[in-house]
Structure formats: C-alpha cells, structure tokens
Structure 1
Amino acid sequence: MNRRITTAASFPIPASFDDECRLATLQAHALLDSEPETEFQSLVSLAAEMLGCPVAALTLADRDRLWVKSSVGPLPRQMPRNVAFCDHTIQSTDLMIVPDLSADPRFARNPFVTGEDATRFYAGMPIRVPDLAGTLQPIGSLCVMDTTPRSLSGAGEQTLRHLAKLAEALIAARAIARRANAMAELSERQAERLRTKDRIVRQVERLALIGSWRTVIGDSRAIWSDGVYRIHELPPGQDFTVEQGLSFYPPESRAALRATIERTIRTGEAFDVELDFVSATGRQRRVRVMGEREMLDGKAHSVVGMFQDVTERHALETQLRRNADTDALTLLANRAAFDRALEQAIGEAAVTTEPLGLVLIDLDGFKLINDTLGHPAGDEVLRIVGQRLRVEWLAGCFVGRLGGDEFGVIVRDSVLLAEPERLRTRIEQSLAISITVNGLTMSCAGTVCATSLPEGCRTTRDFMHHADSRLYAAKRDRVGERRRGDRRHQG
C-alpha cells in the first residue's frame, strides 16, 4: 500500500490551498459554535477507543482559532489557531503523525507540549468537504493524542483514515438535512416555487438515499415520496397501507417501529431510529426512520417523517467495531472484548443464577517453536489454535486470545458445564499441534483449566485470578508428570 504520512519537521502544503475559500466552506456548513451532536461524539469516542489514546477530537479551523466540535479527554473548547497542532494537519494532504512532539522543532516550545500533563504524541487526518465548485476544502481534522511518545500501526493509520471518511460523510449528511429543511421552509413561504422545490428535493433524495413519508391518523394509507419507493425498490405511485409498509421489516424491527409510531401519536415525542429492513427484491438493508406528530385544530392529525438508507454507513461502523474487538492473527476476540463479555456474563449469572464457567488455556512448547522455527511458524501455530477453538461444538461459547499464547473460553452451556473434566480433556486434545519447517518437526500442546464461577465472586478480576490459580496448578502437575516420565524412561 502506498501511504503518504507527514512526520518529523516537514509537511506538504497543497499549491491550491486557499484559506479564504476554506473559511467560506466552513461557514456554509454552520458547524462552528454549534450544539453537541451525538453522531460526532460517538465517532470521537470510537477513535479514542480503537487507537488506544486518552484524547481524541474533531476540530474545526476558524480564521484565528481552532474550535473543538467533539472531544474525549481534557481539551479546551477552543484555542488560538497558531498553537494548535491541527492547523498543520489541515495544510497536509494526508495523515500527519508526530511520534514525539517535544522532538519536533515545530512543536517543541508549544504550550501544550511544555505545560503540565504535556502532550507528546499526535496523529491527525484532515477533514475535507466540497465547496460550491466541488473542490474539497480542509475545514478541520480528526485527531488523537497521548501524553507519551508513540506511533500507530498500519492498521491504526488505516482506521484513522476510515474514521475521517466517516466524519466527512456525517458532515455531508448533516448539510443535506439542513438544505432539505431549508427547502421545506422555503416551499411553505413561496408556494409559487413548488415545482422547483419538488425537483430539488427529488435530486437530494437520489443523492442522499432519502425520502419523506406521511400518514393521517385513522387513515390506513401511507403517502411516500419517490425516494421512499426507490429504497423499497418499488415503482413510484403504487398505493400502500401502513400495514403493508411495515411488512418490509423483520418481525422484531416491525414491532419496534409500530410501538414507536404509536408512542409518538400518543405523546407527541419525535423519534429517530435505525432498523433492519428487507426491500421488495429481498435485499437486506439498514434504514433510518424519523418522524413527528402534526396537530390540526388542537388534535393529533398525522405523522410525517424522513426515511433513509444507511446500509453502507452502518456496515462501515459495524466493521470498524468488529476490527476493534478482534485479534487479527487468530480471528478470535481480543482481550478487551473478552473482558467485557466476561463482566457481562458474571453480572447476568448473578441475576439469573444460571451456571457460568471459564476455561483458561496456556500453550506448552509455543515459545520453543517461536525461538527455534521462527515467528512465522509461531504465528501459524496461533492461527491453528484459533481455527480449532472456533469449532461448532464451542459455537455457543465466547472464545478470546488473552495475549501471547494464552486463550480463554467463557462457557454458559449447562450441558458442557455438567462435565467439566470432559470439557477440559476435549479442548486439550484438540490443541495437540505439530508443525514442520525445513524438515524439523516440533510440537506444542495446551494446558487447560476449566472452572466454574465461585460462590460470592462478582468481578472479572476475582474470577480470572481464581481460574489462573487453577491453571498454574495444572501446569505444575503437567511438568511433574513429564519429569516423572523422563525418569522412568531413563530407568
């Protein structure tokens, strides 16, 4: 992959960089000094979590100041632009990474680097949106920071790029929604421009995969715009009832949407939900449904709203979260995801009193394989372990790589927990692995401990400590058996 990353003491400044045009584009989006928005805060929180940084922010570069739209960690709401790291990011063409700010002459005397709780690491990706001519203008950046020098892996760099693209998509969707609202207000004031407005709305619907809908309370008919028909993959103009419209949702989503609409009619509370959806051609989609109640003569008269296909955005968010929770080598859950799952399981077990078991696995001989045959051989062993722990009979369990050559299995199946020794033996037998490199064959096996949640245990730490103690005891027994076997063989 050809990656362009700005580091050290230089950064590329695009020849076409025009700060006045950039500022005009920023002002047109009405993002500065705006109210907090959940989508942007969720995005920033995701960046901090996925890249393991205590500070993350979505920033906007005004004429003389840098304004923080959303952030995680201790950051001021705004700061002078001439001391902001992100001012350099918006002038770069790609990802900017500064592993150690104190070692970079651009930032060594910066008050955020020399002050208390100094920032030492910075990585930022410019956020670009199109101006009226369609030229992308850098209006801000998505960045992460840390108090210790560090860098990002290749996967981390790609993650920050993906998240920046998602931020641009959110800003674009926000702008489209603002334009659609403005057009709706204009149509109410200027009825003579109705046909012009209608044509523009249709264009916006096609561009944003969005449509509008309306239903009169007490009337079974559903009134859809062309955009709604397009998302349903149906020809425009066909009459539909509300019940027929609901039939495109799977049962669980259908019940949730029905209850949501009924609550809005009853209370007047607007709604904004995302649901699974199946088009007329059978395609699985993800849609966003927004609605609010309309009053007439003091009585609830109708429900109106917007309907949007958000399948691609939802898929990207899902993939990013999955990547954050998955060990890339074994394709099992990573330690963070495993700890969250174990904490949840312990909490549920305390309420339901259902059985809960924990299996810990330590590979014997793995280090010797790694040292003798090389890391590629060690990686292959770990991949094999991942495959063997993803077998069908463990499908109801939560399996994770805890680090190095250690693995864990959360067991909630009462049938498996009824025979813990059989469970332990079965896993142990499946992890007898041999690998050959350049004619040399080496083997490794797993020491396995299976234990149940002790009475009174309420924390992940206590349960893991209990299981660790059992695992270490099993390893000592295994080493003792091997030494006794060696002595018998010598005799």
Structure 2
Amino acid sequence: MTRTGTTYDRAVESGRAAALQALALLGTETEKEFDALVALAAELLGCPTALLNLVGEDRLFVKARTTPGAMSFERDTAFCDRTVVDDRMTVIDDTLADERFRESPFVIDAGVRFYAGAPLHVPDPDGIRRAVGTLCVVDDRPRHADPRELAALAHLATLAEALLDARRTALKAIHIATTGEELVTRLGRQDHIFRQAEQIAAIGSWRLSIVDQTLEWSDNVYRIHGLPVGDGPQLDDALRFYPQHIRPTVQTSLDKSIARGQPFGIESDFVTADGRLRRVRAMADPEIVDGRVVAMVGVFQDVTDRYALEQQLRRSADTDALTGIANRAAFDRELQAAMERARRDGTRLHLALIDLDGFKAINDTLGHGAGDDVLRLTGAALAEPWLMGSIAARIGGDEFAVIVEHPALAADIDGLRDRLESVLRVPVEANGVVMTSAGSVGIAAFDDDCHSLRDLARRADTILYSAKRARVGTRNMRRAA
C-alpha cells in the first residue's frame, strides 16, 4: 500500500484507523484540555505554533493549535505523516536542507523551516497501541532543539496520550451505561470484570433521575467519594463533596444540560468523605424518552494524577531552570495581572528592575560555573520572606525584576532599594579567588500614565540606568581621590 512514495503497512493502517475511530474526535470542536496542552508545548519549546493532529486515512485533522489556520490538510503533504508512519519522534532542524520535505507546500508556501513532532498512541480493538496522531511544534526559522526541549515534548505527548485514553475509556463507559435492557443481562454476567476495570481506570458510572432527583452510583463512584457502597445519596448530598464556591457552578451546568438536552461535563476540585483533596471529572449524556429528558447517565472519574502532572508541567514552563524563580513569560503575565488589580482596586504597585554589576567579570575570571552560582544566589535572595510575597523573576541573562504590591514595602521605597542592593552583594570563590557581584536597582511606581506593561518597564529601566551611571560615577570619583 503506497501513496506518493511512502509505504504503508495495510495491517497497521487498519488497526490505526480502528483505534482512531474509537476516539470519535475527527472534525470535532476544540476542547480546553487539548488547547492548554499545545499552548504549553509552544511555550516550553519556544515556538510560535504547536498543534495536536490526528491522522486519518487521507487527511490530517487539527484538534488544537496555538495560531489561526486550517484545521485539516492532505495527509501526503504533512510532516506528521512521516512521524506516524515511522512511529517515532521526528525532528527537522532545517526543512530546506531535508530532501524529503524541501518541496512540501508547508515549506514553500507556509514558510515552515523547523519541525519537531512526537507520535500519539491509543489502543486498537486488539489492545495494540497504534500511532494515531502527533503533538508537534513548528517555526518559521531553522533551529536546533535542545535535548531537554525534546524531552519536554515527549512528556507532553505522554500527557496527551493520557487524555486520549481517558476520553476513550469515558466514551466506552458512557456507551455501556446508556445501553438498554439487552446489555443489562450481559453486564450481569461480566459484573466482576467491569468492576475491576472501573477500579483500574479510577472511573465509575452514575445515573440521575430527573423526576425524583435520585442518584444511582456504581461501586467505584462510592470508592472515589470515600464512602461505603450503599444506597445512592440525594443530589444535594452529592454536591457537598465539591468545595462550597464550586457547588453553584456544578448545579448550574447540570441544570443547563438537562434543560437543553445536551451533554454535561465539568472538572473541579473535590473533597472525599475522609477529607482528601482530589481532582474529579463528571460527564453525562441525557437519556431522552418521547422527546423529554428523563435522566442524565454518565461517568465519574478521579483525574488527580493527570491534573498533578499538568500542574507540574505548567510550573516548569513558568520557572527559570537555573534560579528557581519565575521566568520572563510568567513575569509578563503576573505584571499584567498586577497592573489590572492596581487599576481596579486603586492599590499601590511598584516594579523593581535589577541589573547585576560585575557579572561579566566574574564569568570571565572565575568561569561560568561561578557565574551560575551568582545567578542562583541572586534568585534565592529575591525569594526571601522579607519581600512579603513579591513576585521575583529572571527576565534576561543577568537581569531580574520584582513586582512589589505589599503596602509595607511600598511605604518605604528608598529602604526597599537599599535592602535589595544589600542582599544582591553576592561573594563567590573559585580556585582561591573571591569576587563579589552587586546589583543596581531601579524602582518605578505604577500610575495612570502607564498604559501598558512596556510603559512601566521603560520607566523602571530609565531609573535603573540612572542608578548604574551614578554608581560608576561614584567609583570614578573614589579612584580620582
């Protein structure tokens, strides 16, 4: 089986098509879980565009992407076809230098110069995991991906597979839960196996009767709640397991689904009967009789582990790997939010920009290891408790920033600047030679003249370099004396 020079194994393609069909995702609307995943991939690898693609028989379907564009392509023209067929991560540093792709319309017309894609697998009906799509990033400039970036892409692909597996399991469970009397008999014979499968997948089924508002739970729904198996609770009792501020959202979403006869789905925090904080997802389809919704039938799943992995990846994406404090992307986001709070609430906000003095000399004299020590110690100094929750970030090579909102710090800006300059005096040693790094600090106040993040940063930058010139002038006067 061939197409434009690419050889396809017929058995593999058949199994892959069956695995893809079970997901029921081709041509569907965007979903926030997949949107968040591609956004994280783009940020971690520093590429403008990331996509999650599903590869059909003849076409590639885009499930999520970070930039506007077409949502399907001819399979033959896509880089992802090669990733799926080879079933391994594909990295093309420069597409123009790769004879397989230099004539591709994505290169000639769309200007794609870099591509990295990891295959996504789900089981086919025989339990064999098949590559059904890719998580990929592209750039309009050639580049060489760092091994750590490719490892991050592989981790994100694993998370994408977990989302796809969860969807496949949920769809299968909903199908089982909504099947009529014919399947009830079969489920009776297979009850033990089904209960084991529920426990392995941390998933259970439920049914809410609209007439009397009674709930029916499978055994594993009780286990997820931390309750002994027994009579189903009333809906009000079930809602009490959600944090109080979330309960109205859950109730409103359920009411809308019932009123409109539409699927219901929500993911949120959850507190079990024995006080454990978990993350759960509830999904359901309406059971309609004579045109009227008589029940909601669905599944309830503990997604705590998957959610924890997502949060860990998000924290990694927002953290500077060397210093352990926020990176530039997280800083821009936090400063924008702080400015909006200051405008809304009329509170005081200051931005401190810091530039390390003597950092290049330390690198040149003692080596980059000593320079890295300076950066780590600076990050630790800016995370100390006396800064009262101020957000510190490394925004460049030897440039740092602190977002100051606490009233006590804002009340004494001169004292804040002096103390920052004091803690930024960092001594380092290598081969018996000791050198000290210091920092110049510029602190700017936010006011109505700051219409954007750049306005406030430019103001702080001006103050910073005035401080640096003054420091240099002082040193020169001391030498002259």
Q: What is the TM-score of this pair, normalised by structure 1?
A: 0.87
Match of 2:19 among 5, 17, 25: 25
Indicate whether 1:178 and 2:167 are aligned.
no
- SS at structure 1 position matched to 2:395: strand
Q: Aligned partners of 2:366 and 2:409: how far apart in 1?
A: 36
Q: Which moved more, 1:87-96 or 1:296-305?
A: 296-305
Q: Which amino acid counterpart does residue 486 of structure 1 have in structure 2?
A: R
- Give me the CA root mean square deviation: 3.0
In structure 2, the partner of 1:466 is 459
Distance 1:353 1:88, change over 3 A: same
Q: Which amino acid counterpart does residue 80 of structure 1 have in structure 2?
A: E
Q: Aligned partners of 1:400 and 1:280: how far apart in 2?
A: 40
Once the two structures are TM-superposed, the CA of residue 249 in structure 1 deviates from its matched residue by 3.6
Q: Is the 8 A contact 1:14 1:93 kept in 2?
A: no
Match of 2:471 among 474, 478, 482: 478
Q: Which amino acid counterpart does residue 338 of structure 1 have in structure 2?
A: F
Once the two structures are TM-superposed, the CA of residue 463 in structure 1 deviates from its matched residue by 0.5
Match of 2:386 among 370, 381, 393: 393
In structure 2, the partner of 1:68 is 62
Q: Which amino acid counterpart does residue 309 of structure 1 have in structure 2?
A: D
In structure 1, the partner of 2:205 is 212
Match of 2:161 among 163, 168, 175: 168
In structure 2, the partner of 1:135 is 128
- SS at structure 1 position matched to 2:85: coil
- SS at structure 1 position matched to 2:131: strand
Q: Which moved more, 1:443-452 or 1:302-311?
A: 302-311
In structure 2, the partner of 1:345 is 338
- SS at structure 1 position matched to 2:353: strand
Indicate whether 1:88 and 2:82 are aligned.
yes
Once the two structures are TM-superposed, the CA of residue 439 in structure 1 deviates from its matched residue by 0.2
Indicate whether 1:417 and 2:410 are aligned.
yes
Percent identity over paired residues: 47
Structure 1 segment 300-311 matched on structure 2, within 5 A: 305-311=298-304
In structure 2, the partner of 1:228 is 221
Once the two structures are TM-superposed, the CA of residue 403 in structure 1 deviates from its matched residue by 0.6
Distance 1:17 1:334, change over 3 A: farther
Indicate whether 1:41 and 2:43 are aligned.
no
Structure 1 segment 308-323 matched on structure 2, within 5 A: 308-323=301-316
Q: Where do 5+ consecutive residues of structure 1 fail to align?
A: 1-12
Q: Aligned partners of 1:81 and 1:264: how far apart in 2?
A: 37
Q: Aligned partners of 1:25 and 1:215: how far apart in 2?
A: 31
Q: Which amino acid counterpart does residue 318 of structure 1 have in structure 2?
A: Q
Structure 1 segment 322-471 matched on structure 2, within 5 A: 322-471=315-464
Q: Is the 8 A contact 1:180 1:204 kept in 2?
A: no
Q: Is the 8 A contact 2:112 2:138 kept in 1?
A: yes
Distance 1:264 1:103, change over 3 A: closer
Q: Aligned partners of 1:455 and 1:65: how far apart in 2?
A: 52
Q: Aligned partners of 2:468 and 2:362: how far apart in 1?
A: 18
Match of 1:122 among 108, 115, 123: 115
Q: What is the TM-score of this pair, normalised by structure 2?
A: 0.89
Q: Is the 8 A contact 1:176 1:204 kept in 2?
A: no
In structure 2, the partner of 1:97 is 91
Q: Aligned partners of 1:191 and 1:248: how far apart in 2?
A: 30
Q: Which amino acid counterpart does residue 311 of structure 1 have in structure 2?
A: T
Indicate whether 1:274 and 2:285 are aligned.
no
